[in-house]
């Protein structure tokens, strides 16, 4: 019966989630327990653990989080099912505790009592299902050896107290007419039922099998109900499908001056070398959104407010009446480790932020713009970096198409030279002009630096570390970056020897990376390869190794290979 009880607990928990998903259609997707709890875990995960997850799982970190949450949920729900009894509702108490926690978290994330409703209603449905399944399971009484013994006319043993206080065994024959039955259930004349230890009659084997079938049917029905509720929630929400359809139908406005074709040598086109432009599907995605926000252009707006002369509210139709610009910009995540892949280059279409902010008129004393995402995430960008003439954009297009939903559709920020945690707000809805000493952004509250200029860096794409290559001519190649400063040189070192210059691709703009390559005559044995970049300020990439916290990793990319 234990396996049935565990299964009952698991499907009851599934019903909690399914019903909650359905209710969240009316209270906001952020109030669904799975999302609310997961997002809260992201918010409060220690920096070291979070960075380990990003470096280990990369852009799959959210999928791994959901998988771990699912495993924990199955274990807890199964245990609750095993503990649940009609007269001892321990499993129901476990459900209630978790439901209360989810309700509090949901209310906190959505901002009101309605945020607690999905967890409360879902938990109530789950407890009812758990109680019902426990009762059905408890009613199935298998025929056991105890039953056989209780039905036998052989002697049983009664314990009696002697006058001296000792306990003695008093054999009693159930077929002895002089014996008085000790069990109250047999004390009535004409009551000849066989009794089990708890006073209920034993079940025949056929009855037990039919009872198990009924229990399995109830468990299956609960599971189907849970799946149906969850599916109904997704279908009624419908936003994901509608936004994807809307995005596919959007025709982007033409820029005032389209970008010219790339110079022939901007991309060296070497095997295994990262292309100059990163395809949208390959572009890294690091954010705190467990569920990708679905924002329609019909409801989207951008509010510019705070320390400004006049507040501005822009809708999608307002943007359509403006002329965008097109720029090439390389974005990088502050969590990118040395030789990491959390960096990408794209062609962005958008509207200059310095022009939008100028219309609002920042007041003297303002030094920061706190950008808000629709999911509550914030980034604090230096006002100077958005108004100093660099190509900081409110972007609506990426590589010739509308922003992918997972990359911020319908609008996001793109700021050359700043790490994403202080600039690259996706699904942006507000620009609040303020001061660094008056407002704190999401990651700054968690110990990261208030300002995040991108550090000069490089990556070795080929050959791969710990790999084996044949002796002879080998091309060592990669990408180098120093956004808004520009790359002037890349050098390669073999086995602590002299630094040798690599050849560089043509520079398109100082705001994007450059490819590089070095021809090496590989000799047999194990070798260590290093690379470093120098930017236009003359500053070479530091060899000092530092972690990504609090403002980006430093050190030379290093790999070891075996030449055969």
pLDDT band, residue 57 (cuts 50/70/90):
confident
pLDDT band at 146 (very low <50, low <70, confident <90, very high): very low
Residue 142: pLDDT band by 50, 70, 90 thresholds?
low
State the average pLDDT for the chain. Answer: 87
Instruction: Kindly report the pTM of this predicted structure.
Output: 0.76
CB 437 within 8 A of CB 505: no
CATH 3.50.50.60 fits 457-563, yes or no: no
Residue 192 clears pLDDT 70, i.e. is over it: no
What pLDDT does 111 receive?
64
Check residue 201 and give its pLDDT: 53
Question: How high is the pLDDT of residue 206?
Answer: 57
- Superfamily of domain 265-446 in CATH is Oxidoreductase, molybdopterin-binding domain (3.90.420.10)
Percent of the chain residues past pLDDT 70, beyond the cut = 87
CB count in 10 Å sphere of residue 148: 12
Q: CA 387 to CA 352: how far, in whole Å?
A: 9
Q: Where are the domains of the chain?
A: 2-141+206-237, 265-446, 457-563
Peptide bond into 463 cis (omega under 30): yes
Q: Please report the pLDDT score of residue 31 as a whole number.
A: 82
- DSSP code, position 452: -
Lowest mean per-residue pLDDT among 58-67, 114-123, 136-145, 435-444: 136-145
Whether the per-residue pLDDT at 326 is higher than 70: the answer is yes
Cis peptide before 550 (omega within 30 of 0): yes
Could you read off the pLDDT of 70-79 as tens digits, one per residue? 999 999 999 9
- Tens of pLDDT, residue by residue over 441-477, are 999 999 999 999 999 999 999 998 777 899 999 999 9
Tokens of 298: 């019909």
Q: What are residue 486's phi and psi, to 5 degrees?
A: 100, 145
pLDDT of 261 > 50? The answer is: yes
- Pick from 215, 214, 235: which is nearest to 18 by CA? 235
Look up tokens 């609506």; give the residue: 396
pLDDT at 83 over 90: yes
Tens digit of each residue's pLDDT (9 = 90 or more) over 482-498: 999 999 999 999 999 99
Q: What is the pLDDT of residue 241?
A: 64
pLDDT-derived band at 204, boundaries 50, 70, 90: low
Please state, in angstroms and rounded to a whole number, the distance separating the CA atoms of residues 337 and 345: 17
Do 420 and 368 contact (CB within 8 A), yes or no? no
Confidence (pLDDT) at 207: 64
Which pLDDT tens digit goes with each residue over 532-550?
999 999 999 999 999 999 9
pLDDT interval class at 34 (50, 70, 90):
confident
Q: Are 145 and 139 in contact (CB under 8 A)?
A: no
């Amino acid at each position: 019966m234990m396996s049935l009880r565990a299964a009952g607990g698991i499907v009851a928990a599934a019903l909690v989630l399914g019903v909650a998903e359905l209710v969240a259609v009316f209270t906001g997707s952020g109030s669904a327990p799975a999302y609310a709890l997961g997002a809260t875990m992201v918010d409060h995960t220690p920096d070291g653990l979070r960075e380990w997850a990003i470096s280990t799982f990369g852009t799959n970190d959210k999928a791994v989080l959901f998988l771990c949450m699912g495993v924990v949920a199955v274990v807890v729900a199964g245990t609750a099912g095993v503990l649940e009894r009609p007269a001892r509702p321990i499993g129901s108490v476990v459900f209630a505790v978790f439901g209360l926690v989810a309700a509090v978290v949901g209310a906190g994330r959505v901002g009101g009592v309605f945020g607690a409703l999905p967890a409360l209603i879902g938990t109530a449905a789950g407890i009812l299902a758990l109680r019902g399944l426990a009762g059905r399971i408890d009613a199935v009484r298998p025929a056991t050896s105890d039953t056989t013994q209780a039905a036998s006319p052989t002697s049983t043993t009664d314990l009696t107290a002697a006058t001296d206080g000792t306990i003695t065994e008093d054999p009693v024959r159930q077929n002895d007419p002089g014996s008085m039955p000790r069990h109250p259930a047999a004390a009535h004349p004409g009551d000849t039922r066989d009794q089990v230890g708890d006073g209920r009659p034993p079940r025949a084997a056929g009855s037990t099998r039919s009872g198990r079938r009924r229990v399995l049917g109830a468990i299956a029905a609960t599971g189907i109900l849970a799946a149906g509720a969850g599916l109904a929630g997704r279908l009624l929400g419908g936003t994901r499908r509608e936004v994807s359809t809307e995005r596919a139908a959007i025709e982007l406005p033409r820029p005032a001056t389209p970008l010219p074709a790339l110079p022939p040598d901007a991309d060296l086109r070497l095997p295994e070398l990262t292309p100059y432009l990163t395809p949208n599907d390959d572009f890294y995605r690091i954010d705190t959104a467990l569920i990708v926000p679905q924002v329609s252009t019909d409801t989207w707006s951008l509010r510019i407010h705070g320390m400004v002369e006049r507040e501005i509210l822009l809708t999608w139709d307002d943007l359509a009446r403006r002329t965008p610009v097109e720029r090439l910009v390389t974005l990088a995540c502050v969590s990118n480790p040395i030789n990491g892949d959390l960096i990408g280059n794209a062609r962005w279409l958008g509207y200059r932020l310095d022009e939008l902010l100028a219309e609002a008129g920042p007041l003297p004393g303002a030094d920061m713009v706190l950008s808000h995402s629709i999911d509550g995430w914030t980034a604090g960008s230096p006002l100077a970096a958005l108004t100093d003439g660099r190509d900081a954009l409110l972007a609506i297009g990426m590589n010739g198409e509308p922003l992918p939903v997972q990359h911020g559709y319908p609008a996001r920020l793109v700021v050359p030279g700043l790490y994403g945690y202080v600039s690259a707000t996706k699904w942006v809805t507000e620009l609040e002009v303020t001061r660094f000493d008056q407002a704190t952004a999401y990651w700054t509250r968690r110990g990261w630096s208030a300002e995040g200029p991108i550090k000069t860096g490089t990556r070795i794409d080929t050959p791969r570390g710990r790999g084996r290559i044949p002796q002879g001519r080998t091309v060592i190649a990669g990408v180098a970056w120093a956004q808004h400063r520009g790359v002037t040189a890349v050098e390669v070192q073999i086995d602590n020897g002299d630094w040798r210059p690599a050849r560089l691709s043509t520079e398109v703009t100082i705001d994007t990376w450059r490819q590089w390559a070095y021809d090496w005559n590989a000799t047999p044995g194990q070798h260590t390869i290093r690379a470093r970049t120098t930017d236009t300020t003359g500053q070479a990439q530091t060899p000092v190794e530092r972690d990504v916290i609090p403002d980006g990793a430093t050190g030379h990319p290093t790999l070891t290979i075996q030449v055969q």
